[in-house]
Amino acid sequence: MTQPGKVLLIGSGPGDPELLTLRAVRMLASADVVVYDRLVSDPILQMAPKSARMISVGKCPKSHPVPQDEINEILYAQASAGYTVARLKGGDPLIFGRGSEEAGYLMDRHIHVEYAPGITAAQGVSCVTGVPLTHRGLATGVQYVTGHRQSNKVLDLDWKRLADPDTTLVVYMGVANIGQIAVGLMTEGLSDQTPVLAVANATTNKERRLVSKLGSIAHDIRSAEMGAPVLFIIGQVVSLYDAKSTSAILTDLEAEMPAIAHA
Amino acid sequence: MTQPGKVLLIGSGPGDPELLTLRAVRMLASADVVVYDRLVSDPILQMAPKSARMISVGKCPKSHPVPQDEINEILYAQASAGYTVARLKGGDPLIFGRGSEEAGYLMDRHIHVEYAPGITAAQGVSCVTGVPLTHRGLATGVQYVTGHRQSNKVLDLDWKRLADPDTTLVVYMGVANIGQIAVGLMTEGLSDQTPVLAVANATTNKERRLVSKLGSIAHDIRSAEMGAPVLFIIGQVVSLYDAKSTSAILTDLEAEMPAIAHA
């Protein structure tokens, strides 16, 4: 009988391979099989063992993704065949990553699961731009929400709770609904002058930045033709953004394609 | 004239050295001087170059910390003397780390600043316990707040916004005020049955865990005599905690001092 394998739920961070943890690197190096999402960057995939079987389950906003049930089955099939399976996700597997759903499915079937946390996109943006997520006098805390709406459903967010001028609001997967998000926040009292930083493909050589205000962000995003994945940081901390004093994290890739700041 | 040095603001994560990013490791290895907080673990300090000058500016809850102004001056003095200064902080330097205050002070004086993000304590807890920060049907988002109160001041948190049964609430530095925090949340409608996970020294060999409910957490923390640093995760996601299926991240240190789970 085959010894069962295991599944390693690994956060690959925002894109720059230098933002992997040592734990993530070690786990990835031990993989027989790598199951990866669309947002895992190519330089990170290249860190997998040459012998590893690579399985893409990438979810594209406009194409049919591999359904979650099927991803669960792939992970289970590979692990129960005795393989060490690296499940690579963008960001952190336990923040908007559905990692806990996959882990629950596997543990119910007696598959051993281990985790490596990842730097979130918000932290990646923060570190390439110098914009903090908290700052004395500007933000006493930070909230992460998703602006993604399931098809045919209304975006169901508690605008009253989110419209807090003393907290930094980070919106993941919000580019399609940023107009509705901005209106919701302004209706509940957040000023239209609240600064907003939008960053696409943070920490990669495709990074693009846009600094705007809540009242104009929807228009500015359309004009700039920024597409997913875009992360929004909304709040007074964005006033600390200084285009001159910040630099892209990928020093070696900068020359090829510099980060574009639209002020 | 001496060429100016620079300051590298480095997140050292929750404690386990394996949770450093590759970027943090590279930056630390380049340091002439290391300025570190109390929450940076010994195994991480041992990763500094043997030749580096080590300066502790550790803040202890019950002793006089080095004032922030003085930390700023130390960083400036070392960098302007031409040294590469690694400023090591627990967690992430731009989330409750006052990293942006230090960066602002230095950039105003034309000192170059770079960042390495770090895994937050919440992410560390999440990955050693398997408790996610978001989960479909249990938590649509996550909020990070600090439960620390400046001396002689009332803990000034917006309980109405924080008492959200659909969001995970992460409280940093809250052990001294957890009674007041629990009452504030329950007064604004959060059930006394809301599960709470408290973890001290997450991901280190001194890690201790306690699973409780909002109505009893203050009593249980006192009984367990858990001291700072304690991180609280409050919300329905804690119902996914399963003592049997989770393991400490520091496999090699487990034998010495296992994590204690009080259920």
pLDDT in tens, B18-36: 999 999 999 999 999 999 9
Residues 6+ apart with CB under 8 A from B95: A123, A126, A132, A133, A134, A142, B120, B144
Strand partners, A8: A86, A114
Question: In which band, very low, low, confident or very high, does the pLDDT at B151 lie, cut at 50, 70 and 90?
Answer: low
Q: What integer pLDDT is reported at residue A68 of this predicted model?
A: 92
Assess contact for A5 and A84: CB atoms under 8 A: yes
Contact A18 B21 (CB under 8 A): yes
For residues A58-79, give the mean pLDDT.
Answer: 84
CB of A100 closer than 8 Å to CB of B240: yes
Domain with CATH 3.40.1010.10 in chain A: 6-116
What distance in Å separates residue A1's CA from the closest CA in chain B?
23
Mutate to test the interface with B, among A20, A95, A249, A250 (most CBs of B within 10 A): A95
Say what the pLDDT of residue B148 is: 80
Contact at CB, B134 and A240, closer than 8 angstroms: no
Beta strands in B102-173 (DSSP E): 112-116, 141-146, 167-172
- Of the partner residues A26, A146, A242, the one whose CB lies closest to the CB of residue B140: A146
Residue A263: how many other CB atoms lie within 10 Å:
8
pLDDT of residue B261: 39
Q: Is residue A75 within 8 Å of residue A87, measured between CB atoms?
A: yes
| Higher-confidence position of A254 and B16 | B16
Which A positions 127-166 lie with beta carbon below 8 A of chain B? 127-128, 130-136, 140-146, 157-158, 161, 164, 166
Q: To the nearest whole angstrom, how far is the Cα of A83 from the nearest Cα of chain B?
A: 20
Instruction: Supply B16's token pair.
Output: 């386990």
**Which of B25, B87, B127, B167 should be substituted to probe chain A, the one whose Cβ sees the most A Cβ atoms within 10 Å?**
B127
Q: Is B251 on the interface with A (CB under 8 A)?
A: no
- Which tokens hold the place of A28? 């990835």
Q: A152 phi and psi, to 5 degrees?
A: 70, 10
Contact B127 A117 (CB under 8 A): yes
**CA nearest neighbour of A12 among A44, A34, A35:** A44
pLDDT of residue A248: 44
Q: A249 falls in which pLDDT band (50, 70, 90)?
A: very low
Q: A129, A178 in Cβ contact below 8 A?
A: no
Span of B153-157, B212-216, B248-252 with lowest mean pLDDT: B248-252
CA-nearest of B205, B183, B203, B202 to B194 is: B183
For A223, which DSSP code? H
Distance from B55 to chain A by nearest Cα, in Å? 24
What residues 29-88 of chain A have any CB closer than 8 A to a CB of chain B? none
Burial class (CB in 10 A: 0-12, 13-18, 19+), A244: exposed
Q: List CB contacts (< 8 A) between A17 and chain B.
A: 22
pLDDT band at A39 (very low <50, low <70, confident <90, very high): confident
- Do B113 and A86 contact (CB within 8 A), yes or no? no
Residue B130 DSSP symbol = -
The predicted pLDDT at position B243 comes to: 67
User: Helix A178-187 vs helix A217-224: angle between axes, to the nearest 10 degrees?
Assistant: 170
Residue A154 confidence (pLDDT): 65
Mean pLDDT of chain A: 89
Instruction: Output the pLDDT for position B39.
Output: 86
Residue A256's pLDDT is 34
Alpha carbon distance A208, A227 (integer Å) = 10
Return d(Cα B82, Cα B220) in angstroms, integer.
51
pLDDT in tens, B68-126: 999 999 999 999 999 999 999 999 999 998 999 999 999 999 999 999 999 999 999 99
Residue ranges, CATH 3.30.950.10, chain A? 121-262
CA distances in angstroms from B98 to A62, A170, A226, B24, B153, listed in the order given: 40, 19, 31, 18, 19
Could you say which of B18, B157, B242 has the minimum Cβ distance to residue A21? B18
Q: How high is the pLDDT of residue B259?
A: 39
Q: How far apart are CA B97 and CA B12, in angstroms?
A: 11
Whether A2 shows a pLDDT value over 50: the answer reads: yes
pLDDT value at position A4? 86
Domain B6-116 CATH (choose: 3.30.1490.440, 3.40.50.620, 3.90.79.10, 3.40.1010.10): 3.40.1010.10
Average pLDDT of chain B is 89
Q: How far is CA B214 from the centre of its chain?
A: 21
Selection from A218, A213, A259 nearest residue A238 by Cα: A213
A153 pLDDT more than 80: no
Bridge partners (DSSP) listed for residue A36 = A56, A88
- To the question of domain B121-262 being in CATH 3.30.950.10, the answer is yes
Residue B169 clears pLDDT 50, i.e. is over it: yes
Residue B53: is its pLDDT beyond 60?
yes
Lowest average pLDDT, out of A139-143, A205-209, B252-256, goes to: B252-256
Q: How confident is the model at residue A244 (pLDDT cuts 50, 70, 90)?
A: low
Return the residue of A nearest to B121 by Cα. A117
Q: What confidence category does residue A156 fall into, taking pLDDT thresholds of 50, 70 and 90?
A: confident
CB B8 within 8 A of CB B86: yes
| Whether residue B224 has pLDDT greater than 70 | yes
Residues of B in Cβ contact (< 8 Å) with A247: 114
The answer to whether residue A88 scores a pLDDT higher than 90 is yes
